[in-house]
Amino acid sequence: MKLILRQPEKKEEKQSTGKLSIRWDLEEPKIALTPPNNFLRVDVEFRDPPERVYARVDSVEQVGPNDRERLALLEAVDAGWFNERSTNPEPLDDDEFRAMPISVLAVMIDTTGHQRSRPRELRRWMIGDWLEVEFGAEPGRMPVHLFHGLFADPTEMHATFGRPDAQLKEKLEDAFSLDRIPDASIEKIEHILGKGDGVACLNVFDVGQGNAIGFSRRKKTPTLYFDFGGGVLSNKRTFPRVSPINCLTAAPAIVLSHWDWDHWSSGMRVPNAALDCDWLVPRQKLGGVHRTFANELIKRGRLHVWPISLPALSVGQITVERCTGRDQNNSGLAMIVATPRRAKKRGKVLLPGDADYCSIPSANNGPPFSGIVASHHGSRLTSIAMAAAPKSGGTLVYSYGSGNTFGHPRLQSQLEYLQAGWKPGNTWSTTQSVMRRPSNIGISLTTERPRLHCLNCSPRYTTQI
């Protein structure tokens, strides 16, 4: 981190006496911020493909007819670069995060034994596993897609996979860990959550295949966001041409449900404003891409990590709970938003991120929620029945991108939500409109119709809990 100290300048000003006086203007030191890593930039520059990478399994999702295929996404770092850097015992610094050659791999695994997934090793991949990937044109290698940027088109490659030894795996996990970042103070967390107190409307933004929910008081721009993502990689085309999430004029804070690209990526669509917001994030194990984005916030002093020892915290209408699962989706943060104190009708809305309902403490006990933003964009879950609708019907909103590569929302999940009491007449989605995007869905917590300053940020459709 570099500090630039500006010399005070002499300025002459005319006073009422007509005499000249000297005034010294002292400016606070400003931090010189380097541009972000090439992979995170919207205007990504193409790089020559790597020969070998170390890759962390970020997600594995069942896709295709009858769920016979699995789509694995891996965070990768150039193996040669990392091997050279790992001889230095010091943590990665800002210049190294900026220059680090990182990428994402998309691998389709056929679980029926098709030749594309001939090695049985591929079927045993678990989220968090580290792999050694070598590229080449020799016969027998598996086809994969390599993304040089979060917003870039992929390059088709052919690869073989192996496992790094225990010592190398430890170095990789240590290099991208958040362990050196201290927990946020309770006072800071309360300050961040307090920005959402007084909320009258939850605006589920149409960000394509992703999640971003703005909290607005009456006729105001958002003061708090739960997630700030959008469609990226193979799903970047699902993001609307006119961005709906450019309302950052109220200096909002952002609560991140978990470390997933489609939940934080819009921070790089409007980096000049979004990276200067306070981000409250869960403490999870990361790979090179997530950690590089975290570094952008760290160097600005804007990353605040939720303590592992803190199960939940409430500020006014807002409650955040730490999920109790083990994997990335189920060990993050969920949010519950209550109606205003003076509202005639009482209720609560659950924002689960991608967490299964069985890993959210509030979903395991207490009365039904009046509204839910469907977890994981309508993916298959094991406990949808736990998220039963209230007798009044309640409001269910799906946040996903039309034609996404995961097949969200899954038909089986939609049927299970119906069985749980969520009625079609009160079910909405951010694909509600095709011709008039962005198709934001407003969940009003009062009887007043929400209207925001920005046309693109205002809800296209509004429902009340």
pLDDT, one tens digit per residue, over 51-88 is: 999 999 999 998 877 777 889 999 999 999 999 999 99
pLDDT at position 215 over 60: yes
The answer to whether 349 and 335 have CB atoms below 8 angstroms apart is no
In a domain, 143, yes or no: yes
Distance from C-alpha of 422 to C-alpha of 431, rounded to nearest angstrom: 18
The type of residue at 314 is S
Angle made by CA atoms 47, 51, 57, in degrees to the nearest 5: 90
pLDDT at position 118 over 60: no
Same domain, 163 and 297: no
Give the model's pLDDT for residue 135: 96
Give the model's pLDDT for residue 453: 53
pLDDT, one tens digit per residue, over 378-395 is: 999 999 999 999 988 899
In a domain, 142, yes or no: yes
Percent helix, strand, coil in the chain, to 5, is 20, 30, 50
pLDDT at position 32 over 60: no
Q: What percent of the chain has pLDDT over 90?
A: 70
Give the model's pLDDT for residue 12: 38
pLDDT at position 446 over 60: yes
Domain count, the chain: 3
Three-state SS annotation for 281-343: ECCCCCCHHHHHHHHHHHCCCCEEECCCCCCEEEECCEEEEECCCCCCCCCCEEEEEECCCCC
Final residue before a domain boundary, out of 151, 175, 199: 175
Same domain, 17 and 72: no
Output the average pLDDT for the chain. Answer: 88
Same domain, 292 and 394: yes
Preceding peptide of 409 cis, ω within 30°: yes
Same domain, 327 and 417: yes
The type of residue at 38 is N
Give the model's pLDDT for residue 16: 38
The type of residue at 43 is D
Give the model's pLDDT for residue 449: 62
Tokens standing for residue 186: 């309770």
Same domain, 137 and 221: no
Same domain, 257 and 336: yes
Task: Report, as an integer, the average pLDDT of 37-56.
Answer: 92
In a domain, 372, yes or no: yes
Task: Report, as an integer, the average pLDDT of 190-213.
Answer: 95
Q: Looking at mean pLDDT, say which of 114-128, 215-229, 397-411 comes out highest.
A: 397-411
Same domain, 380 and 336: yes
Angle made by CA atoms 223, 367, 229, in degrees to the nearest 5: 35
Q: Using pLDDT thresholds of 50, 70 and 90, give the confidence band for residue 365.
A: confident
Residues 6+ apart with CB under 8 A from 127: 57, 58, 59, 60, 327, 328
Closest CA to 228 of 156, 169, 278, 187: 278
In a domain, 359, yes or no: yes
Give the side-chain half-sphere CA count within 13 A for 422.
26
Give the model's pLDDT for residue 298: 97
Give the model's pLDDT for residue 33: 65
Same domain, 28 and 75: no
Q: What percent of the chain has pLDDT over 70?
A: 87
Check which CATH number belongs to the domain holding 221 and give it: 3.60.15
Give the model's pLDDT for residue 463: 81
Is the pLDDT higher at 340 or at 283? 283
Closest CA to 401 of 258, 261, 174, 207: 207
Angle made by CA atoms 410, 411, 417, in degrees to the nearest 5: 90
Full domain range(s) for residue 193: 186-464
In a domain, 47, yes or no: yes
In a domain, 181, yes or no: no
The answer to whether 161 and 143 have CB atoms below 8 angstroms apart is no
pLDDT, one tens digit per residue, over 304-327 is: 999 999 999 999 999 999 999 999
Residues 6+ apart with CB under 8 A from 7: none
Question: Sign of the CA dihedral 72, 78, 80, 84?
Answer: negative
- The DSSP code for 458 is S
Tell me phi and psi for residue 192, to 5 degrees: -65, -50
Same domain, 7 and 65: no
Give the model's pLDDT for residue 111: 65
Residues 6+ apart with CB under 8 A from 415: none
pLDDT, one tens digit per residue, over 7-27 is: 434 333 334 334 333 333 334
Q: 430-444 burial, b for 16+ CB within 10 Å, e for fewer? A: bbbeeeebbbbbbbb
Final residue before a domain boundary, out of 144, 175, 206: 175
Q: Using pLDDT thresholds of 50, 70 and 90, give the confidence band for residue 115.
A: very low
Closest CA to 396 of 247, 202, 229, 231: 202
The type of residue at 191 is H
Same domain, 143 and 242: no
pLDDT, one tens digit per residue, over 163-173 is: 999 999 999 99
Q: Using pLDDT thresholds of 50, 70 and 90, give the confidence band for residue 357.
A: very high
- Please give the biggest Cα pair distance in the chain: 91
Distance from C-alpha of 349 to C-alpha of 331, rounded to nearest angstrom: 20
Q: Using pLDDT thresholds of 50, 70 and 90, give the confidence band for residue 90.
A: very high
Give the model's pLDDT for residue 86: 93
In a domain, 180, yes or no: no
Give the model's pLDDT for residue 39: 96
In a domain, 269, yes or no: yes
Report field, pTM of the whole predicted structure over 0.95: no
pLDDT, one tens digit per residue, over 55-65 is: 999 999 988 77
Same domain, 357 and 446: yes
Q: Using pLDDT thresholds of 50, 70 and 90, give the confidence band for residue 34.
A: low
Terminal CA-CA length for the chain: 47
Q: Using pLDDT thresholds of 50, 70 and 90, give the confidence band for residue 6.
A: very low
Angle made by CA atoms 345, 361, 284, in degrees to the nearest 5: 120
Closest CA to 351 of 380, 382, 302, 318: 318
Give the model's pLDDT for residue 190: 98
Tell me phi and psi for residue 356, to 5 degrees: -70, 145
Preceding peptide of 459 cis, ω within 30°: no
The answer to whether 227 and 262 have CB atoms below 8 angstroms apart is no
pLDDT, one tens digit per residue, over 257-295 is: 999 999 999 999 999 899 999 999 999 999 999 999 999
Tokens standing for residue 339: 């109606």
By CB atoms closer than 10 A (0-12, 13-18, 19+), residue 404 is buried
Final residue before a domain boundary, out of 175, 203, 231: 175
Distance from C-alpha of 243 to C-alpha of 387, rounded to nearest angstrom: 31
pLDDT, one tens digit per residue, over 132-151 is: 999 998 888 999 999 999 99
Distance from C-alpha of 396 to C-alpha of 55, rounded to nearest angstrom: 36
Same domain, 256 and 396: yes
